[in-house]
Chains A and B, each alone.
Chain A
Amino acid sequence: MPKSNRRDRSITYASAINEATRQLMAQDDSVFVLGIGVDDPRGIYGTTSNLSSEFGQDRVVNMPLAEDAITGIASGSSMAGMRPIVVHERMDFMLLAMNQLINVAAKSHYMYGGAVKVPMVVRSIIGRSWGQGAQHSQALHSFFMHIPGLKVIAPTTPHDAKGALVASVRDDNPVIFVEHRMLHNYKGQVPENLYEVPFGKARVLRTGGDITIVGISHAMVECIRAAKSLAAASISAEVIDPISLSPIDVQTICESVEKTGNLLIVDNGWTPCGASAEIMSLVIENVQRQDKVKMKRMGFEFVTSPTSKILEDLYYPDSRRIAKNAYDLIMGKKTDWEPDVQESPEIDEFKGPF
C-alpha cells in the first residue's frame, strides 16, 4: 500500500534527517550509519535516534574515537558496495580525517581509472552559540569545494535536508553533507515519501528585483530576516539558497544578478578563499549583463571564533548588518538607514551545552 504523503506535515530539520536515514536504510540494506555516539541516547541531536533499535548495532555502528580510520573504513566499505553515512557531531573533527577524505576517498574513482566507486556520505555539523568557541564552530565547507571528486551540499530547510540526504546517499561519489546546529530545531513542511533534492540546483526562496542575496547554510536564515527589513524600506531582495555548493548552480544566481544588478553573498564561514569568493568569481566570469554589477561579500569576521556572547555577536553576520550592507550596496554609498531589529530565536533561545 502506498504510504500517505501529507504535504502539510511540519517536522524539524533533525527529524527530517532521521526520517530520511530510516527510510533509506529500510529500502537499501547497503546503507549503514557509523560515527562516534551515533547509537547513544542523544542520537546526534535526534538525527540518529531509534535507528539502532530498528536496524541493529551492525548497521548503526558506534565507533571508536578514530576519525581518520572511520573515514577509511567507510570508503573501504563503499568500495565493497556499501553506502555508509559517517556522522561527525562537529565539523571541526573532520580535520582529523582530511587524509582519508582528500587523499583517498576523493581520488579513488579517478586515480583507479573508474575501476571503483566511493559512494559515501559524511554528515558534519557546524556548531554555534553557548560558547562553542574555537574548535566547535568552524565552517569548513570551502575546503571540500576545492577538491575534485567531492560533492558538497549544505541544505537550510527541513524539506531540503531530507531530500538532499536522499540524493547524497544515492549518489555514487563521496559527499560532504553540511548541517548547522542552529537549524536542527527548525520546523518546516516535509513530505513523508522519499524524494531527492538534486545536486547543482539552487532554490530561490524569495523573489525580488532590487538585489540578489545568496545565503549559505544558517546565514540563509539571517538573509531571509534581512529581506524582511529591506521590504520595510521598500527594497525587494531576491534570496537564493545554493543548497549544493559543489557542484554549484551558477546559472540561477547569474540570472538573478542580471535582473537585480546587485549581489550580496553571505557565507556561514570565513570569506578569504571561501564559498563567497568562489561564487563571486563565478558570477564575474559568467554574468551576461554588460553594465556594472555591484557586489559585496559577508561572512564570519576573520578571527578565531570567540566564546563570550558579546564577542560572538560581533563575529557572526546578523540580519541587521546584512540588511544594512544590502541597502548601502544598492545606494552605492554609506547611508544612515537603520533596519528593523529581527529576532534570531534559534540563537537567543539555544541553551547548551552542545
Chain B
Amino acid sequence: MKNKNINLNSIELINNLYKSIYRIRTIEEKIALIYPTDQIKSPVHLSIGQEAVTVGACAALVETDIVFGTYRGHSLYLAKGGDLKGMMAELYGKSTGVAGGKGGSMHLIDTSRGVMGMSAVVATTIPQAAGYAYAFKLRKQKNIVVSFFGDGATEEGVFHETLNFAALKKLPMIFVCENNQYAVLSHQSERQSSSNITERASVYGMHSEKIDQNDAQAIYEKINWARNQIVEKGEGPIFFECMTERYREHVGPNERDDIKTRSAEINDPLEQLSKLVSYDFKEGVSKEVDLELNEAIDFADKSSFPSNDTLYQDVYA
C-alpha cells in the first residue's frame, strides 16, 4: 500500500474507504440480523457508526504494521484485512474459525494481516501494543504498531502506565482512542472529571490531536502523516482521540434506545463517503459484498464444530 504523496481527494482513496466501510457495515448489520437465530453464540459488540476510525487508520498502514484492538473488534479486524470466512466461522463457534472456536467475537486475530488480537478486558492490549512496538524498536524494523481502545480505557491505570513508557522510550506506535463517549450506558461526563483525553495524553510529551469529524478521509490523512513521522523521523509515539458514535447497544444486535441523543455534530461515515462515490461503483460494491458475505456465512454454516480432542489443544505451546 502506498503511503506517500497522497491526494486526499483521489477517487481511488475515496472508493477504497467507501468500500471498506460499506463492507463492514453490511457485514455487521447481517450479524445483527442473524443474531436472534442463535447461530452466533458469542457476545457481539458492533462498531456500526464508528467504522471510520479503524477504516481510515488502517488504510494508512502496510500489511506488516501491527494493530491491537478491543472486544469491539470486527471493524478493526476487517479494515486491517482479516479473513472474513475465518471471522464468521469463529462467531459460529466452528473449527474453521480464526481461533478454532476458542475465541469467539471478542478475540479475533489474523497474524498474517498484522491483526494481533482483541481482548475482552478493557485496556489490556494497550501495553501489549507497546511491547510489540518495543520489539520493532530493538530490531530497528521500519514498522509501527497501532493501539485501538475506547474512551473508557483511558480511565484505566495501565493506559497511563503505557503512555508514560511509550513516550519515555519513543516507541514507534500510534495510540487511537475511539471516543464514542459511552462505556456501556455511562456517558463520559459521568466517568471523567474533564473531557480532555487528548490533553491528558499530551502531558506525557507526545504529539496528541483530537479529530472531531468521524470522517475516514480525515483520519486517514492524520494517521498517514503520523506513520511517516514515526517511520521516517523516529517521532513516536503519537496520540489521536477520534470522536465517533456507536449506534447499537454496547453488546448485542439492538439499536440503542437512547439513539435520539445521537450527537448532531457527528457525521455518519458511510453517508459522507456515499456522496462522493459514483452510482455505478456503489452498485458494484454492493454486489461484491453480498456475494462475499453469503459465501462466508455459507462457509461458517457448513463448517464442522470443533472435535472433542481440541479441548486440550493449545493450552501450552
In whole angstroms, how far apart are the Cα atoms of A135 and B171 in the complex? 34
- In the complex, what's the smallest C-beta–C-beta distance from B62 to chain A, in angstroms? 16
Q: Kindly state the interface size class of chain A when it binds its partner.
A: 35 or more
Residue among A32, A99, A103 making CB contact with B138, cutoff 8 Å? A32
Q: Is A80 an interface residue (CB 8 A)?
A: yes
Are B316 and A81 touching (Cβ within 8 A)?
no
Q: Which residue of B lies closest to A68 (CB)?
A: B158
In whole angstroms, how far apart are the Cα atoms of A172 and B127 in the complex? 20
In whole angstroms, how far apart are the Cα atoms of A151 and B121 in the complex? 22
Q: Which residue of A lies closest to B147 (CB)?
A: A76
In whole angstroms, how far apart are the Cα atoms of A99 and B158 in the complex? 10
- How does the 8 Å CB contact mask read for B126-141 relative to A, with 1 for contact and 0 for none? 1111111111111000
In whole angstroms, how far apart are the Cα atoms of A256 and B31 in the complex? 58
Q: Which residue of A lies closest to B159 (CB)?
A: A69
Q: Is A109 an interface residue (CB 8 A)?
A: yes
Stretch from B13-21, B94-102, B211-219 that touches the partner: B94-102
Which chain B residues lie closer than 8 Å to A149 at the CB level? 315-316
- In the complex, what's the smallest C-beta–C-beta distance from A170 to chain B, in angstroms? 12
Are A76 and B138 touching (Cβ within 8 A)?
no
Are B313 and A69 touching (Cβ within 8 A)?
no
Which chain B residues lie closer than 8 Å to A91 at the CB level? none
In whole angstroms, how far apart are the Cα atoms of A78 and B128 in the complex? 9
Are A116 and B117 touching (Cβ within 8 A)?
yes
Given contact pairs A108-B117, A112-B99, A113-B314, A75 touches B107 in the complex (Cβ within 8 A):
no
Which chain A residues lie closer than 8 Å to B100 at the CB level? 113-114
Are B316 and A77 touching (Cβ within 8 A)?
no
Are A64 and B168 touching (Cβ within 8 A)?
yes
- In the complex, what's the smallest C-beta–C-beta distance from A173 to chain B, in angstroms? 5
Residue among A71, A100, A112 making CB contact with B109, cutoff 8 Å? A112
Q: Is A146 an interface residue (CB 8 A)?
A: no
Which chain A residues lie closer than 8 Å to B174 at the CB level? none
Are A104 and B124 touching (Cβ within 8 A)?
yes
In whole angstroms, how far apart are the Cα atoms of A70 and B161 in the complex? 9
Q: Kindly state the interface size class of chain B when it binds its partner.
A: 35 or more
Are A115 and B111 touching (Cβ within 8 A)?
yes
Which chain B residues lie closer than 8 Å to A180 at the CB level? none
Closest 7 CB pairs of A and B: A76-B131, A72-B127, A76-B128, A113-B99, A69-B161, A66-B161, A80-B135
Which chain B residues lie closer than 8 Å to A116 at the CB level? 109, 111, 116-117
In whole angstroms, how far apart are the Cα atoms of A74 and B158 in the complex? 13
- In the complex, what's the smallest C-beta–C-beta distance from A91 to chain B, in angstroms? 20
Which chain A residues lie closer than 8 Å to B121 at the CB level? 99, 103-104
In whole angstroms, how far apart are the Cα atoms of A219 and B121 in the complex? 37
Q: Which of B109, B111, B124, B161 has the most CB of A within 10 A?
A: B161
- How does the 8 Å CB contact mask read for A46-74 relative to B, with 1 for contact and 0 for none? 00000000000011000110101111111
Q: Is B119 an interface residue (CB 8 A)?
A: yes
Which chain A residues lie closer than 8 Å to B132 at the CB level? 76-77, 79-80
Are A77 and B134 touching (Cβ within 8 A)?
yes
- In the complex, what's the smallest C-beta–C-beta distance from B304 to chain A, in angstroms? 15
Are B128 and A114 touching (Cβ within 8 A)?
no
Q: Is A354 an interface residue (CB 8 A)?
A: no
Are B317 and A173 touching (Cβ within 8 A)?
yes
In whole angstroms, how far apart are the Cα atoms of A217 and B128 in the complex? 31
Additional A-B contacts beyond A70-B127, A113-B103 (4; CB < 8 A): A72-B125, A100-B124, A104-B121, A119-B317
Are B128 and A104 touching (Cβ within 8 A)?
yes
In whole angstroms, how far apart are the Cα atoms of A103 and B116 in the complex? 16
Residue among B66, B102, B162, B168 making CB contact with A113, cutoff 8 Å? B102
Given contact pairs A66-B165, A77-B132, A77-B134, A110 touches B315 in the complex (Cβ within 8 A):
yes
Q: Is B228 an interface residue (CB 8 A)?
A: no
Q: Which residue of A lies closest to B156 (CB)?
A: A68
Q: Considering the complex, which residues of chain A in the window 147-166 have a beta carbon less than 8 Å from any beta carbon of chain B?
A: 148-149, 151
